[in-house]
Structure 1
Amino acid sequence: MSLDDASQKPHDRLGRLLADDMGLVNTLIRERMASEHAPRIPEVTAHLVEAGGKRLRPMLTLATARMCGYVGEDHLRLAATVEFIHTATLLHDDVVDESGQRRGRPTANLLWDNKSSVLVGDYLFARSFQLMTETGSIRVLDILANASATIAEGEVLQMTAAQNLATDEEVYLKVIRGKTAALFAAACEVGGVIAGVPDAQVAALNAYGDALGISFQIVDDLLDYGGDASATGKNVGDDFRERKLTMPVIQAVAKADTAERAFWQRTIEKGRQEDGDLEQALALIAKHGTMDATREQAVLWADRAKAALDVFPDSDIRGMLVDLADYVVARVR
């Protein structure tokens, strides 16, 4: 590895390695998000798809397929499928969360309207199923269909658990395993399935994606209370304002005294937030050291992701996937 390569972020190195395939995936995405009869569909989709995201999930499909020795074109279809599923969930999430910013830009529901975002998200889900069936693999269809159902289930669970102070870390993990890790796991798993590797390696890819996705979401939730808005595309405290119970707050609630618990009940459960409440929340999180404790959990899951790859022989891609797990948590070290 050259010094230039070593200084690059792991997903950038993966992007360079997979550049030709990603170019074909991007072409496929643009072709399949077109609509002859409803020009708003490509308008709304392009706003999000072309927003400069890392394309991490489709990249995982391409990377795992290549690591497993796959030769063919189905990995391109599956990578596009994964990106469509992800984009559809983002469109729906922004409506549910009433978000006004995504990746540092106005959300589609803000620029157009909620109806457009929901319906275009539905269109992308339909397109994703068309793409995955083109592989002719029932096993692939089963994995991605299950992931789609799990994502929706995780979002509904979050809606019911997010503002309930009884929500504990176990429920929180169920939420993020559904809303985030399920697609990471499926994106990795299908790469091994189409390559025809043994079941033990397919299971290892699922475990890698699951653990990576959990670590990724824990870090995202951590950055909400201490990240750089220009880097994250989110404003610090968005989760607090949206009354989402994430790990830093769940742990602070668990350690709260009577007065502190009353604060969390007012701001999170009842939604009566006042000027200065975010600063008070940050002070309580700092008092109980829950940022550090949450960071330790993210590192633990990143380590599990790396360990899952032990069943694969050494290769450049395997090394990049290991580095990717380290990078996910390096954002908050």
Structure 2
Amino acid sequence: MNLSEIIQPIKKELLEFEKTFKKEMLSKVKLLNIIAHYILKQKGKRIRPTLVLLSAKLVGDINETTYHAAALVELLHTATLIHDDVVDESNMRRGFPSINAIWGNKVAVLIGDFFLAQGLLLSLKHKEYKFLHITSEAVKRMSEGELLEIQSSRGNDFDEETYFRIISDKTASLISACCELGAASASEDDFIIEKLKFFGENLGIAFQLRDDLLDYLGDSAITGKPTGADIKEGKITLPLIYALKNSPRKESRHVMKIIKNNPTNKDIYYVIDFVKNYGGIDYTLKIAEEYLDKAKQFIIDFAESPAKESLLKLTDFVLERVS
């Protein structure tokens, strides 16, 4: 399964989206344009605009407001990635030096703010107030998720319930917003829009579960970040939570001590083996499959179409992806 196959029903529309997105990234400030071109060169997988466009096509027709919605979420996503790199003190993004690594934290924060403002202004300019409501709710949830993660990482009470609250807000909220925005751009039926919203929520949770698995299984040359990065940063994700819960107390306490004390590369490989040995990988994979099955149920009743087929393929891609 690959993305080029999934985007076939919206291939032309994605090219149209790129024009809108590029236009909204640019400014009269030379430094900002230099950085915008640097970001555009890296071009990610465009999963979020793909979700907007496919969701619109599933329930109706892609139109001008659909392109605005796709540009809005990609501007917001780009802003959050830039801000995340500052917060995480990360020097790499998609295999390239991060914005903060090249231009410093101050410029990175301001660039992120600019992209967020551009997205909101795009909706205001076209009086797409429903888009603003959906997006603002997503930004609120993303911020709450980040803060809950910071709060929880300072204690030892990190459990599955807290973990799922965090990933639901941090990751699933924006993916859910993509599907909701796409549906809202092509339909006024609240029931249909809500179905796409919940499809995206479950897909987003599975997406993050797979992302957390890649920290234990991924190839850094493919993922663009070093394997074990979450461990090094002290992030406690589901594979580790499960392994800690199902291992001897003495061993789990030793692992927690490693994580909280700047683990070396040798320590990271020890933790990866620990998680594999105590079932953290298999358990997380099983839970991700359950969330993808839930996601599929929200669109299963829609009429057969290339857009529906692509959305169902995308759920499989989420589970199989290696980056």
Q: TM-score, normalised by structure 1?
A: 0.92
SS of the residue corresponding to residue 309 of structure 1 reads coil
| Runs of at least 5 residues in structure 1 that lack an aligned partner in the other structure | 1-7
Work out the CA distance in 1 between the residues paired with 2:62 and 2:280. 46
Report the counterpart of residue 285 of structure 1 in structure 2.
275
Per-residue CA distance 1:69-123 (angstroms, 9 max, x = gap):
1253111111000000000000000011111211111111111111111110001
Work out the CA distance in 1 between the residues paired with 2:138 and 2:108. 21
Report the counterpart of residue 54 of structure 2 in structure 1.
63
Report the counterpart of residue 8 of structure 2 in structure 1.
16
Work out the CA distance in 2 between the residues paired with 1:275 and 1:98. 18
Work out the CA distance in 2 between the residues paired with 1:71 and 1:238. 39
Work out the CA distance in 2 between the residues paired with 1:49 and 1:239. 26
| Runs of at least 5 residues in structure 2 that lack an aligned partner in the other structure | none
Report the counterpart of residue 238 of structure 2 in structure 1.
247
Once the two structures are superposed, the pairs formed by residues 179-194 of structure 1 within 5 Å of their partners are 179-194=170-185
Work out the CA distance in 2 between the residues paired with 1:23 and 1:326. 24
1:328 aligns with 2:321: no
1:126 aligns with 2:107: no
Q: Which has the higher contact order (CA 8 A, sep 6+)?
A: 2
Distance 1:275 1:201, change over 3 A: closer
Report the counterpart of residue 276 of structure 1 in structure 2.
266
Report the counterpart of residue 166 of structure 1 in structure 2.
157
Out of 60, 84, 88, the residue aligned to residue 97 of structure 1 is 88
Report the counterpart of residue 35 of structure 1 in structure 2.
27
Work out the CA distance in 1 between the residues paired with 2:130 and 2:11. 27
The answer on whether the counterparts of 2:79 and 2:115 sit within 8 Å (CA) in structure 1 is yes
SS of the residue corresponding to residue 273 of structure 1 reads coil
Moved over 6 A (4+): none
The answer on whether the counterparts of 1:184 and 1:213 sit within 8 Å (CA) in structure 2 is yes
Give the AA of the match of 2:44.
Answer: G
Report the counterpart of residue 225 of structure 2 in structure 1.
234
Work out the CA distance in 2 between the residues paired with 1:163 and 1:180. 21
Work out the CA distance in 1 between the residues paired with 2:111 and 2:204. 25
Work out the CA distance in 1 between the residues paired with 2:314 and 2:187. 24
Report the counterpart of residue 3 of structure 1 in structure 2.
none
Distance 1:161 1:208, change over 3 A: same
Q: Identical aligned pairs, as a percentage?
A: 34
Per-residue CA distance 1:191-220 (angstroms, 9 max, x = gap):
111222422211110011111111011001
Q: How far is 1:47 from its partner?
A: 2.5
Out of 115, 119, 124, the residue aligned to residue 106 of structure 2 is 115
- Which shows bigger deviation, 258-267 or 231-240? 258-267
Counting matched residue pairs gives 322
Q: How far is 1:49 from its partner?
A: 3.5
Q: How far is 1:323 from its partner?
A: 0.9
Cα RMSD for the two superposed structures: 1.7
Give the AA of the match of 1:33.
Answer: M
Q: How far is 1:258 from its partner?
A: 3.0
SS of the residue corresponding to residue 276 of structure 1 reads helix
Q: How far is 1:275 from its partner?
A: 4.9
Give the AA of the match of 1:88.
Answer: A
Q: How far is 1:236 from its partner?
A: 0.6
Work out the CA distance in 1 between the residues paired with 2:261 and 2:154. 9
